[in-house]
Amino acid sequence: MTLKINQPVLATLIEDGASSSDITAASNVAAKVESHSVKRLTFTLTDLVVNVAEADDYGGTKIADLPDRNLLILAVEIDLSVSKGLTTNGIIDTTDVSLALGTTAPSATPLAGSAINFSDTQSFTATEETIAYQFNNNDIADGDPGAVPGKFADSATRAIWLNAAASITADDTLTANGTITVVYVDCLNGIS
């Protein structure tokens, strides 16, 4: 009789014999190659609100905390529908809006630094109430914000934020629906 279990298989530290045989180590050095799988993380946003303060002209909302480990980001894809709040003197249909993903909330306008390190800033000037925020960082030139691969050293305070900037004279909001997909390698997977 064969017993089958319907559950995911966990194999975080599989030795890769083929790769190990390609390494010639000194006689007093042991070499061991371990496979680290590529992970695909998809966030589905449902009515996620980003508050934009009139006093700052920017704002951000944390989507999730990231692992406190070294991460190598291979790709980020954004497919969001972002609705303007339409408050008088706030973010109305003719208000220009800048959006980005980063590992921290914004601290100034224009959006910069760690507020845009997952994606570069995208500016929208369309006179519409809803923005189609679509982005894939494979199209970004090396050295520009959000270029892949992105290397993020371990940090207990790192997160992923949806950040926005708009020049307004009344507090308002943006509401996001859709998906954000992050493809990454956890470089310390299985190491304690």
**Model pLDDT for residues 22-62, shown as the tens digit of each residue:** 677 788 887 777 776 888 999 999 999 999 999 999 999 99
- Does the pLDDT value for residue 190 go beyond 70? no
CA distances from 35 to 13, 90, 101, 149, 179 (A): 6, 50, 29, 18, 28
pLDDT at 16: 45
Tell me what the pLDDT averaged over the chain comes to.
84
What residue ranges do the domains of the chain occupy? 38-186
Class of domain 38-186 (CATH, top level)? mainly beta
Q: What pTM was computed for the model?
A: 0.80
For the stretch 133-166, pLDDT in tens is 999 887 776 667 666 777 888 888 889 999 999 9
| CA triple 110-114-117, angle to 5 deg | 95
Q: Give all strands of the β-sheet with 58-65 in edge-to-edge order.
A: 58-65, 159-165, 97-102, 122-124
The mean pLDDT of 173-188, rounded to a whole number, is: 92
